[in-house]
Chains A and B, each alone.
Chain A
Amino acid sequence: MKFLPLVIANLGRHKRRTVLTIASVALALFLFASLQTVVTTIAAAANFGSVRRLVSTSATGIVFTLPIAYANRLRAQPGVESVTWANWFGGRYGDGKRFFATFAIDPKSYLEMYPEMVMPADQKEAFLRERTAALVGKHLMETFGWKLGQNVTEQGTIFPGDWTFTIRAVYTPTDPRIGEDVLMFHHEYMEERLGRPGQAGWYIIKIDQTDHAASIAKAIDDQFRNSSFATKTGTEQAFNASFATMWGNVSLLMGTIGMAVVFAILLVTANAMMMSTRERTREVAVLKTIGFADRTLFGVVMLEAGVIAVTGAIIGLGGAKLLYKSTNFSAGGFLPGFDVTPNTLALGSAIAIVLMVASGLVPAVRAARLPVVSALRQVG
Chain B
Amino acid sequence: MALVEIRDVYKSFQRDTQRIDVFSGITLDVEAGSFLALMGPSGSGKSTLLNLIAGLDRPTEGAVRVAGAVVSAMSTGDLASWRARHIGFVFQQFNLLPVLTAYQNVELPLLLTRLSKRERDERVKIALGVVGLDDRMHHYPRQLSGGQEQRVSIARAIVADPTVILLDEPTGQLDAKSSQEVLALLRRLNSEFKKTIIIVTHDAHAAEQATTVLHLEKGNLIRGDAVPSLRPSDAARVGVAL
Contacts and interface: CB of A to CB of B under 8 A. Distances in A.
Interface of A: 2-3, 5-6, 9-10, 12-13, 282-283, 286-296, 372-373, 376, 380
Contact of A291 (B51, B83, B95): B83
A373 B76 CA distance: 13
Contacts, number: 71
Given A6-B100, A294-B80, A286 B95 contact: yes
Interface string B113-140: 0000100000000000000000000000
A380 B50 CA distance: 15
Contacts of A295: 77
Interface residues of B, number: 30
A7 to B, nearest CB: 10
Contacts of A287: 108
Contacts of B100: 5-6, 9
Given A2-B111, A290-B89, A291-B80, 7 more contacts: A6-B100, A283-B95, A291-B83, A291-B112, A292-B112, A293-B81, A372-B57
A288 B91 CA distance: 13
B91 A286 contact: yes
A5 B80 contact: no
A296 B67 CA distance: 25
Contacts of B232: none
Contacts of B109: 290-291
A6 B112 CA distance: 13
Given A9-B104, A373-B56, A380-B92, A290 B99 contact: no
B97 interface: yes
B3 interface: no
B187 interface: no
Contacts of B84: 290-292
B156 interface: yes
A12 B98 CA distance: 11
A286 B91 CA distance: 9
B91 A380 contact: yes
Interface of B: 51, 54, 56-57, 76-77, 80-85, 87, 89, 91-93, 95, 97-100, 104, 108-109, 111-112, 117, 156, 160
Nearest to B85: A291
B168 to A, nearest CB: 8
Contacts of B108: 6, 287, 290
Contact of B77 (A13, A283, A293): A293
A254 B50 CA distance: 60
Nearest to A8: B99
Nearest to A5: B104
A119 B208 CA distance: 96
A291 B84 CA distance: 4
Contact of B99 (A3, A9, A286, A296): A9
Across the A-B interface, the 6 shortest Cβ-Cβ residue pairs: A291-B84, A293-B80, A9-B99, A291-B83, A286-B95, A372-B56
A11 to B, nearest CB: 9
Contacts of B91: 286, 376, 380
A283 B80 contact: no
Contacts of A10: 99
A50 B82 CA distance: 71
A90 B98 CA distance: 65
> Which of A3, A291, A292 has the largest count of B CB atoms less than 10 A from its CB?
A291
Given A289-B56, A292-B112, A294-B77, A283 B87 contact: no
B56 A380 contact: no
> Which of A12, A282, A287, A289 has the largest count of B CB atoms less than 10 A from its CB?
A289
A287 B95 CA distance: 10
Contacts of A3: 111
A342 B156 CA distance: 48
A296 B112 contact: yes
A43 to B, nearest CB: 47
A105 to B, nearest CB: 66
Contacts of B54: 289
A149 B115 CA distance: 73
A133 B99 CA distance: 68
A12 B95 contact: no
A337 B214 CA distance: 82
Nearest to B93: A380
B87 A291 contact: yes
Given A3-B111, A372-B56, A373-B57, A288 B80 contact: yes
A12 B99 contact: yes
Contacts of B104: 5-6, 9
B165 to A, nearest CB: 13
A249 to B, nearest CB: 50
A162 B56 CA distance: 85
B171 to A, nearest CB: 15
Nearest to A9: B99
Nearest to B101: A9
A5 B97 CA distance: 13
